[in-house]
Amino acid sequence: MEILIAVPCFNEEEIIEETLSSLANETSNIENHDFKFLVVNDGSYDNTKNILSDINEEISVVSSITNQGLSEVFNSIMHYAKKANFDYLIVFDADLQYPVEEINNLINRIQNSQSDIVIGCRNFGKDNHFGKIKNLIQKYGSRVISYILGVRISDVTSGFRIYSKRAIGELFSSNNFTYTVETLFQAAKIKLQIDTVLLKSFN
């Protein structure tokens, strides 16, 4: 199986090397899959672009001159993955807010459940990553959207997701700000199967 790990990136000079190193180390321990890496540098004006230019040839980099926003980055990632005919796509944020240790759990879940999208869900009842009020907003907002969709998703804004080949070919964001919620409604409309994994190691 060929799996693309795509990393949206904007002004991450302090952590981008650590993120890519962590991803490379983690995936080296996962057997029977061929991993490729793509960094989408969304108009960074710090030293991110220079750092990426020095990274080895195994990592592809796409850069824009100005900041286009998450939706355009998402569409660029989908286009890249579709054109290269990847079996799966994982989107992983450059700031390491999600645990790389959970990557294999997402892969196992999407293969075992034969889903089209698997979302790595943060536990807003236990983690301290956000403040109490933001946790509550995320928690209850996810409940409302889950009810509308008819699919139980405890973290609808999580950007840590794995997509099947069908999802790669079908999803496209027209939102000017973010793609996470919009593409869930789109997925439900075209009957893509959505599943979730609770991120046990998220803190």
pLDDT one-digit tens code per residue, 109-131: 999 999 999 999 988 755 555 56
Asked if the model's pLDDT at residue 202 lies above 60, the reply is: no
Q: Long-range CB contacts (< 8 A, 24+ apart) of 25-28?
A: 25/100, 26/100, 26/101, 26/103, 26/104, 27/103
Amino acid identity, position 150 = G
17, 51 Cβ separation under 8 angstroms: yes
pTM, rounded to two decimals: 0.91
In this predicted model, what pLDDT tens digit does every residue of 15-60 receive, in sequence order?
Answer: 999 999 999 999 999 999 999 999 999 999 999 999 998 886 679 9
Radius of gyration, alpha carbons of the chain: 16
Q: What is the per-residue pLDDT across 77-98, written as a single tens digit (0 to 9) for each?
A: 999 999 999 999 999 999 999 9
Q: How far apart are CA 137 and CA 110, in angstroms?
A: 28
Predicted pLDDT of residue 183: 96
Distance CA 183, CA 55 (A): 32
**CA–CA separation, 81 and 90 (whole Å):** 10
How open is the CA angle 106-168-165, to the nearest 5 degrees?
Answer: 70
